[in-house]
Amino acid sequence: MLIDFHTHTDASADGECSMQALAEAAHARGAFAVAVTDHCEIAELNGRWGEEGTRRSWQAYQALAAAQGTERDGFHLLFGIELGGANADFAAADALLGRYPFDFVIGSMHNLKGRRDFYYLDYAKEDANALFSQYLTQVEALIQWGNFDTLGHLTYPLRYITGENGIPIDWGYHMPQLRRLLGALARSGRALELNTAGQRKPYGALLRDDLVLREFARQGGEYVTIGSDSHTAQDVCAGIPEAMALLRECGFGRVTYYVARRPQQLPLL
């Protein structure tokens, strides 16, 4: 059964499809459950990347629920959020999460605290391994805070460091920290996300998600969510069967989804 727990609509500043179009595309593909997870960056709460996206997303979800319902022929549309950079202000993040009835919360980090998105950095002028280490340290703080359901695209900086700039990461150096982080995530009972967007980028690959997943399994991690990170209706559920195959290869038998912020397990295809 297809499942996609990371999707964006035009309520996100960079999303391109209406919620209705997303729901129709997912239903047409025979998906079982999709969560809409529009962006909200805590460091930019009052701007267009902030709560405005959440408000618009919730309004569109309610309108769709009123017009045709959010369940149809065994397909379920759930209401979530991609909460970016909660470490900018954990109290503000907690307050935001209390204002909407989320089914599902992705905790993501697109930038180091006080810095721009990894997308914008000039890697010719940066020490990529130092950046990645700082990133892991800040993700550890996010896990300690813990008000999220799945840890979004842990390998996000690698899209730019390795994917676009070809800079290798020194895994030997980072492994002890990565192990500690994944151990803490596993013990917290929260999920790790496998995000398939890398396959649709020019470099066309997932960047060491296999290594991260295998280590999470070794550390006793039980819950894994999968998401396309689609920003168009066309990309909804993209790469999900391949992601499920990778999950199985890495030692998982089930994929996790969330309703009212409670984990539910679905056997892999």
- What x/- string results for residues 40 through 79 when contact with Zn ion is judged by CB under 5 A? ----------------------------------------
Please identify, among the stretches 50-58, 101-109, 214-222, 250-258, the one whose residues bind Zn ion according to the rule CB under 5 A. 101-109
Task: Let me know: does 62 contact 32? Beta carbons within 8 Å.
Answer: no
Nearest distance, CB of residue 68 and Zn ion, angstroms: 25
Nearest distance, CB of residue 110 and Zn ion, angstroms: 6
Q: Which residues of 53-67 are buried (b: 16+ CB within 10 A; e: fewer)?
A: bbebbbebbeebeee
Running DSSP on this structure, what letter comes out for residue 50?
Answer: T
82 interacts with Zn ion by CB under 5 A? yes
Task: State the DSSP string of 145-176.
Answer: H---SEE--TTHHHIIIIIIT-PPP-HHHHHH
Residue from 52, 103, 229, 235 touching Zn ion (CB under 5 A): that is: 229
111 interacts with Zn ion by CB under 5 A? no
Strand partners for 61:
none
Residue from 54, 70, 108, 111 touching Zn ion (CB under 5 A): that is: 108
Query: How far apart, in whole angstroms, are the C-alpha atoms of residue 118 and residue 141?
Result: 18
Please identify, among the stretches 54-62, 103-111, 124-132, 259-267, the one whose residues bind Zn ion according to the rule CB under 5 A. 103-111
Residue 196 φ/ψ, nearest 5 degrees: -95, 5
Q: Name the residues that contact Zn ion, by CB under 5 A.
A: 82, 108, 229
